[in-house]
Structure 1
Amino acid sequence: MGIFSGLLGNLSEVSVEELTNQYGAYLMPNETISTGFKLIRDSFIITDERIILIDHQGVTGKKTRVTTIDLDSIYEVTMETGGTGFDDSELTIHYIKSPYYKANTITTASYKFEFKKKFNIQGLYVALQTSATQNLKRMNG
């Protein structure tokens, strides 16, 4: 069932120890992993500073693209729980890509994560939305 879920695009939670062993080299000094998820070869990790997206490319997966979304740049989070049938749970984060948040023109983007229907995404949603709300207050204050 795990491989089948992976083929459908569902993320599975991975232990902090396994993520640290496999991706610890990508962490900044004093940065710690809070949680992380894996989809066959690709992963995403949430630390106390950022979300790290790890995309293993090519046939062998040796080529790796690492992308960071700073937690401080997230301004909105949306959640959709799984329904009946093959519906997945989805979590979408909206974030500012511009390096200067108070510039006249900012660039934004969004990223959608899909989870197994049975995975309870409410805790992750609340944690990220709490960060987003604090960010909005800080940016607009």
Structure 2
Amino acid sequence: MGFIDSFLGNASTVDVKKVEKELESILIAEEQVEAAFKVFRDLMVFTEKRLILVDKQGMTGKKVEYHSIPFKSISHFSVETAGTFDLDAELKIWVSSATEPIVDKQFKKDSSIYDIQKILAAMCL
């Protein structure tokens, strides 16, 4: 996918080795990236232990927030696919005892939402 697709919210897969190199300062020993998706500048990274949300902030993207969510803390999640008139797909993730989702991401009409759902199901169930 190109720049326009990612700008519009379409997720694209990212090379796992590139992501491991980028996140080497926050990954623990022996932790490996299983899959990663890029939405514009942000990343959703799945390791065997946790989901890492990488939020690049500001104009330059030098300020970065790393939000780690252990899979054991995810109580449930939902995926809403895009429809005919509603072109956005949506991912929501709740953690234990939270009434509101901790993650609420919008995607444009895109098949990556199915890949993300499968990974979440495999890691959480």
Whether TM-score is above 0.5 comes out as: yes
Kindly provide the amino acid, as one letter, of the partner of residue 37 in structure 1. Answer: F
1:109 deviates by 4.5
Structure 2 counterpart of 1:63, which letter? K
Q: TM-score, normalised by structure 1?
A: 0.73
Higher radius of gyration, 1 or 2: 1
Give the total of aligned pairs. Answer: 124
Structure 2 counterparts to residues 104-115 of structure 1, below 5 A: 106-107=97-98, 109-110=100-101, 111-115=103-107
Q: Residue 74 of structure 1 contacts residue 94 of structure 1 at CA under 8 Å; is this kept in 2?
A: yes
User: What residue number does 1:7 align with?
Assistant: 7
**Structure holding more helix per residue:** 1
Aligned amino acid, residue 61 of structure 1: G
Report the counterpart of residue 111 of structure 2 in structure 1. Answer: 119
Aligned to 2:78: 78
TM-score normalized with structure 2 length: 0.81
- Tell me the secondary structure at the aligned position of residue 79 of structure 1: strand
**Counterpart-to-counterpart distance in 2, 1:78 and 1:90:** 8
**Separation in 2 of the partners of 1:32 and 1:109?**
29
* Mapping 1:15-34, distance limit 5 Å: 15-34=15-34
Superposed CA RMSD in Å reads 2.3
Looking at structure 2, the residues matched to 112 and 56 of structure 1 have their Cα atoms a distance apart, in angstroms, of 16
Q: Deviation at 1:123?
A: 4.2
Partner SS state of residue 18, structure 1: helix
Q: Is the 8 A contact 1:6 1:40 kept in 2?
A: yes
The letter of the residue matching 1:122 is: Y
Which runs of 5 or more residues in structure 2 are unaligned? none
Identity of aligned residues (%): 34
